[in-house]
Every structure is written in structure tokens, then in C-alpha cells.
Amino acid sequence: MHTLCLDIGGTKIAAGLADPSGDLVHTAKRRTPAAEGAEAVWDVVAAMIADALHAAGGAVGGVGIASAGPIDRHRGTVSPINIASWRGFPVRDRVSAVVPGVPVELGGDGVCMALGEHWLGAGRGARFLLGMVVSTGVGGGLVLDGAPYPGRTGNAGHVGHVVVDEDGAQCACGGRGCVESIASGPSMVRWACDNGWCAPRGAGAKELAGAAAAGDTVALAAFRRGATALAAMIASVGAVCDLDLVVIGGGVAKSGRLLFDPLRAALSDYARLDFLAGLRVAPAQLGGTAGLVGAARLVGLG
């Protein structure tokens, strides 16, 4: 029996069918109508569920939901920052109503990404793992002692809002000096523009990486600055959780060594304690499907 999995974000919604080994035998993706009302967003989810059920021949063994946060895993509700009309939206009950009689599990997208990479990606074999996405934001989730660690409300591992500069710039969360406000793609691009990088119109992390690869000194400095902020956060979280591995995915991580080389160099400066000597950082392997795979795994772990 297949597991139906959903990955709900502010930009897109993905659905899939996973077989028991985690292979996705059906996937679909649609734009999130994030500016529309709650029911318009739900209609997209419901249509994708109907398509996936059809592809599964009408029955699935369970449903796993990865959602952008914050979430409340006890109530089964979600309030994604980038879906304004979903505030305390009862996504678990709504999914249960259209797929009755099977387990429905809800997790944060960061936890699901980490769990997916732990199961079938770059995190295989790790016991204490932080999975991270560095793209338009910085997100993450924890797998501790081999099991997903949701925390009290389901939001543990929200590492984008670890403060790395106590006098830093305002962050979208309302705080300031968060690693996301320095190391997200838009933050790095903004810093580069403020410091003299002549960005092409509409430039993002990809264009910044292109400029850095071509030797642009401001673009290289932007990557160094972002990577150093990430390293400070990773050293801190690594010390708190006694991690053995950090897996990093997302658009900014696609720049490869431009990010990972300065990140590893800064990490070796910050993470000096003996027990952190084995802390490794690796690129994610599953790409955009890690959240779906992890959501399916949530159901398997029950």
C-alpha cells in the first residue's frame, strides 16, 4: 500500500505517492494561491489529494503532511508565515475528512526534510542530524538519536532564527540578528547590492553565485559573510544537540563549494570543543523531494 504525502509551502504545494521503500511513484506540484482565502488554498490541496488517490487506485495506507510553519502538531493546525489566510488552519482534520480511516501525520517541513535525508539521502547512517534548507529563508529540523524531534509544539529545529549578531538587522520574524537575515538568498543579494555589486535586474542567489564563480570580490564576500553566519549557528546548535551531521539543501546550497568551503573553514574556527571535532557538513541529496519523502516516513514511524 502506498503512502500519500504532501508538502505545503508558501510558493508551491507538492503531493506524492511513496511506496514502502520511500520511492515516489507519483508526484505533482502546483503553485500555492498564497494571497487568496483559506478555502482557495485548501481547494488546491484537496484537488491534489484527489489526483494522488486516483493514481493510487483509490486507497492509500496513510497520509503524511509536511507544512511550512509554525505548526501545532497537537491540534493538527498550521499557520504558515507565507500563507496569510491559513491561521490555525485545521489541515490534519481536513485531510482526514477526505481520506478517512487511515493515519494522518503532520510535521513541520524542516523536520520532514531532515527525516527524508536521514532515511534515503545524505543523512543515512547519522544518529544526530540537523537538516537545513538555505533558500529564500533558512529552515531546518532535527533527527535526534535516529528519531524525528518535533519539540513541544512541532517547531523544534527552526534554526533560521538562531541569533548570530545580537546588534544585527531586523528579521522578518520581528527579532533581529537572526541567521536568516544574513544568510538567506535574498539577504546575501541585498548585502552584495548595498556593497557595490551591480546586480542584474531581478537577480537572486543563482546570479550572485555566477558572479562569485567569475571572481567578483563583493559576491565572494557576500558568500563568505553568509557562510560565516551559518557556521556560527551550526557550531551553536551542534554544541546544544551534540550533532554528528548537518545536511544543507536549498537554492543557496546549490552554489556548492562557494558556500561549503567558507562554511567549513569558519566552522573549524567556531567549533573547537573536542566533542564537536566529528561534526560534518554535507550537501543534501534528495533536492526538492526530501519533504515528501520525510512526510511519508512520518506515517511509517507512526
Q: Is 175 in the site for Zn ion (CB under 5 A)?
A: yes
Handedness of CA 87, 90, 91, 97 (dihedral sign): negative
- Angstrom distance (rounded) from CA 107 to CA 64: 8
- The stretch near Zn ion (CB under 5 A) out of 176-184, 230-238, 274-282, 288-296 is 176-184
- Angstrom distance (rounded) from CA 215 to CA 30: 37
- Angstrom distance (rounded) from CA 184 to CA 206: 12
Q: Is 38 in the site for Zn ion (CB under 5 A)?
A: no
Q: DSSP letters along 3-64, please?
A: EEEEEE-SSEEEEEEE-TTS-EEEEEEEE--TTS-HHHHHHHHHHHHHHHHHHTTT--SEEE
- The stretch near Zn ion (CB under 5 A) out of 17-25, 161-169, 245-253, 281-289 is 161-169
- Angstrom distance (rounded) from CA 173 to CA 189: 19
- In the bound state with Zn ion, the residue whose beta carbon lies nearer, of 62 and 226, is 226
- The stretch near Zn ion (CB under 5 A) out of 3-11, 27-35, 172-180, 262-270 is 172-180
Neighbouring-strand partners of residue 104? 63
Q: Which residues of 48-71 are buried (b: 16+ CB within 10 A; e: fewer)?
A: bbeebbebbeeebbbbbbbbbbbb
- Angstrom distance (rounded) from CA 126 to CA 243: 9
Closest approach of Cβ 175 to Zn ion, in Å?
A: 5
- In the bound state with Zn ion, the residue whose beta carbon lies nearer, of 11 and 170, is 170
Q: Which of 2, 118, 161, 297 binds Zn ion (CB under 5 A)?
A: 161
Give the binding-site size for Zn ion (rule: CB under 5 A).
Answer: 5
- Helical H segments across 121-216, by residue range: 180-183, 185-194, 205-213
Binding mask 59-98 for Zn ion (x = CB under 5 A): ----------------------------------------
Q: Which of 13, 171, 218, 279 binds Zn ion (CB under 5 A)?
A: 171
- The stretch near Zn ion (CB under 5 A) out of 45-53, 114-122, 177-185, 253-261 is 177-185
Q: Is 229 in the site for Zn ion (CB under 5 A)?
A: no
Closest approach of Cβ 109 to Zn ion, in Å?
A: 17
Q: Which of 178, 212, 229, 271 binds Zn ion (CB under 5 A)?
A: 178
Closest approach of Cβ 178 to Zn ion, in Å?
A: 3
Closest approach of Cβ 208 to Zn ion, in Å?
A: 21
The residues of the shown chain that bind Zn ion, judged by CB under 5 A, are 161, 171, 173, 175, 178
